[in-house]
């Protein structure tokens, strides 16, 4: 993915442009041991209890559509948020 620090957006491998701050928050949550799954109504986080801080919850709710879009992209492409080949910062 290519990043533009000026506008806070990232272009993923196949072209979707996503929010860098949302992607970075998902990385932080995943680094704490959480995993994400998309559902028909959005997404779930495992393990849910105690994994998210109040700030995480507020951030994800404020960016719910972008979070769902990123997680759907990752799931559709069968890769982790940390997939090294998917990242190319410019």
Q: For residue 15, is it within any domain? A: yes
Pairing type for strands 35-39 and 9-11 reads: unpaired
Confidence band for 25, pLDDT divided at 50, 70 and 90: very high
Number of structural domains, the chain?
A: 1
Give me the percent of the chain exceeding a pLDDT of 70: 77
**Higher per-residue pLDDT: 88 or 11:** 11
Predicted model pTM: 0.74
Report CA Rg, the chain.
13
Q: For residue 87, is it within any domain? A: no
Gap between the Cα atoms of 55 and 41, Å rounded: 22
Residue 28 has pLDDT above 80, yes or no: yes
Containing structural domain, residue 20:
2-82
Q: For residue 54, is it within any domain? A: yes
Token look-up 């041991």 returns 33
């Amino acid at each position: 993915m290519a990043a533009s620090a000026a506008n806070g957006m990232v272009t993923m491998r196949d072209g979707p442009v996503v929010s860098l701050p949302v992607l970075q928050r998902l990385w932080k949550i995943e680094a704490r041991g959480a995993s994400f799954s998309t559902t028909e109504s959005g997404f779930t986080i495992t393990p849910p209890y105690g994994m998210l801080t109040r700030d995480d919850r507020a951030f994800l709710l404020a960016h719910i559509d972008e979070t769902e879009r990123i997680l759907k992209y990752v799931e559709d492409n069968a890769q982790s948020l940390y997939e090294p080949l998917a990242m190319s910062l410019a």
